[in-house]
Amino acid sequence: MFDVPLPIFFTVFVTTGVVLIFALWIYYDRMGVRRHDRLNQTVFHCVRCGKLYGVHGEVKQAECPDCNLKNIPLRF
């Protein structure tokens, strides 16, 4: 089999663990940012064409992307 010295084995083992934890940290951090961006939208319903659309942030009025009519946000 392979003859690997003990310090090198532990160095590789610990380095692999640290890299894995760091990669998972970055992945879940990005997932949280995407979820926050999706939840931070204001949803509108156009009364003229019936389209549902979202705008980032808290906005009191927004123009419909299809017919350019200003609409108020939906309330849930």
Number of domains in the chain: 2
Instruction: Note whether 31 and 18 are same-domain residues.
Output: yes
pLDDT at position 18: 98
What band does 74 get if pLDDT is binned at 50, 70 and 90?
A: confident
pLDDT tens for residues 51-69?
999 888 888 999 999 999 9
User: Do 47 and 26 belong together in one domain?
Assistant: no
What is the residue range of 45's domain? 41-76
In a shared domain, residues 72 and 46 = yes
Same domain for 1 and 35, yes or no, is: yes
DSSP per position, 1-60:
-----HHHHHHHHHHHHHHHHHHHHHHHHHHHHHHHHHHTEEEEE-TTT--EEEEES--S
Two structure tokens written together for 62 = 């927004």
Residue 29 and residue 47 share a domain: no
Are 34 and 49 members of one domain?
no
CB atoms within 10 A of CB 46: 19
Q: Per residue in 14-65, pLDDT tens?
A: 999 999 999 999 998 888 877 777 777 889 999 999 999 988 888 899 999 9
Same domain, 35 and 48: no
